[in-house]
Structure 1
């Protein structure tokens, strides 16, 4: 039995994401709309992309701030924007921002419009995730109630009726 359980447990634990990485991804997802709005405001005020990214990184902090500060420092040093943003595209939490910024740098599209769309999409996906979580709470609450009330209903409602009918049928 141990020979079967050990490899299965090792595979499960190996594929699990570390707790810190999971927390970082949730924090990045929560901070992304604010960072995109802040970068949009800076760009509309006339700041270059590297300065807008640095301002957003300093204001946001945390894991997203660290990643944006790295991108800002690379852009200030003269790195090509596409490969710089492509490094952030590997992370699922910052992938949408990185792909949008890379496409904007490649096509020459206005970055502020791209960031506004990205912030709106991030807010909408966060709202959809919170609605799905709220709905799942209702579904998860039904199981314990069913496990408690169904046996009580059977014992107090159905069995006495069956016993009463059985006693009238058996005894004339």
Structure 2
């Protein structure tokens, strides 16, 4: 819980203190985009929208830590008024690591004009719920908050159901081992004293 609060405060600070400068004209739409651990990226070179990010691509090697946490942080960011790219950038800078690089890269590519599907093409399947929740907002202008909250709630319900099912299966699997453990104890503590007592009575 403490780590979640720290990340939430960091996202709030990034949204409040950072701005993304823009400029028009033939020089390109984006003047500079902040990325974690890097200097500001310059304007696009004109060779295509995917020139803006060249970080290490280890998306498929490291799974997403917790998609629910990312959904909650993105919901907080868009509720605070951030657009989709700015929310992705702020959350990416807050969580850092592989997840942060993935989200920040998507933010950069969207700002550089990449189509939605192309911007998310290199990310892992674990982040697909985020892409699905935000797509309607980016493409159609729908509010992303309800979709993010609904998906986070659905993932939590699925996890609780899976936990209950796993607990039920564990109980079934433990019946035989526990029975084998308790049977000798029952024989030694319940039957042996009775048999000894009966044998002593017969001897007398």
Q: Deviating runs (4+, > 6 A) in structure 1?
A: 151-154
Which residue is equivalent to 1:127? 160
User: Does residue 103 of structure 2 align to residue 68 of structure 1?
Assistant: yes
Q: Distance in 1 between matches of 2:93 and 2:121?
A: 21
Q: Structure 1's 42 and 77: CA in aligned 2 closer, same or farther, altered over 3 A?
A: same
Unmatched runs of 5 consecutive residues or more in structure 1: 1-19, 158-172
User: Does residue 78 of structure 2 align to residue 43 of structure 1?
Assistant: yes
Q: Distance in 1 between matches of 2:147 and 2:164?
A: 26
Write out aligned runs for 1:3-152 (5 A). 21=61, 24-25=62-63, 27-28=64-65, 30=66, 32-88=67-123, 91-149=124-182
Aligned residue for 2:90, secondary structure, equals helix
Q: If the length of structure 1 is used for normalisation, what is the TM-score?
A: 0.61
Q: Structure 1's 82 and 113: CA in aligned 2 closer, same or farther, altered over 3 A?
A: farther
Q: 1:150: Cα distance to partner?
A: 5.7
Unmatched runs of 5 consecutive residues or more in structure 2: 1-59, 192-204
Q: Do the aligned partners of 1:82 and 1:105 also contact (CA within 8 Å) in 2?
A: no
Q: If the length of structure 2 is used for normalisation, what is the TM-score?
A: 0.52
Number of residue equivalences: 134
- RMSD, matched Cα: 3.2
Q: Do the aligned partners of 2:68 and 2:152 also contact (CA within 8 Å) in 1?
A: yes
Q: 1:51: Cα distance to partner?
A: 0.9
Q: Which has the higher helix share?
A: 1
